[in-house]
Amino acid sequence: MSPLFRLLPNIIMSTKQVIEEIVEKHLPDESHFVVEVQIIDKGAKSQVKILIDADAGLNIDTCAIVSRQVAEEIEAKELLDEAYILEVSSPGLDFPLSSRRQYEKNIGRKIKVSLEDGKDIEGELLAVEATAIQLKIKVKGKGKKATEETFSIAFDQIKKSIVLVSFK
């Protein structure tokens, strides 16, 4: 294995970190945050996918402004030496929650939590604590009546969480 090939993951990681810092610098204010930065090698053209979000929701104009500013800085710093595709967007409802801040943004919404042990739990997100989330879940009793209970789930037990869309 060539020494350059062994260094490639480190080069990609450092470029990813630099791009994440660039994105953070160009966010409009403290209510906006970076969810994820991905660099996907697609041969002739790499793809740089940047997911951003905001506490009060994100609009397309913000994505466009951040995209232009980030592209200008990537070019100025010559971070990517080949052609690339830059995509700046919000994570979307089907994207798993990945940070405390995303959980906090979704308090009051119904979410589906997939646990490390393979179980799934659905409920209303009530609170986000230092090491866990609180869900209000419906528990079916022996009779036909379901009761609501508060259930705590530690972050280290969560494999994936997604927001459930309600059309009511």
Q: Does 150 map to a domain?
A: yes
29: containing domain: 3-89
Domain stop point among 35, 69, 89: 89
**47-79: per-residue pLDDT in tens?**
999 999 999 889 999 999 999 999 999 999 888
Rounded to two decimals, the pTM is 0.77
Neighbours of 118 (CB within 10 A): 7
Q: Write down the H helix ranges in 41-88.
A: 60-77
Q: Does 168 map to a domain?
A: no
CATH at residue 157: 2.30.30.100
CA distance 164 to 109: 8
**138-161: per-residue pLDDT in tens?**
888 777 788 889 999 999 999 999
Same domain, residue pair 114 and 85:
no
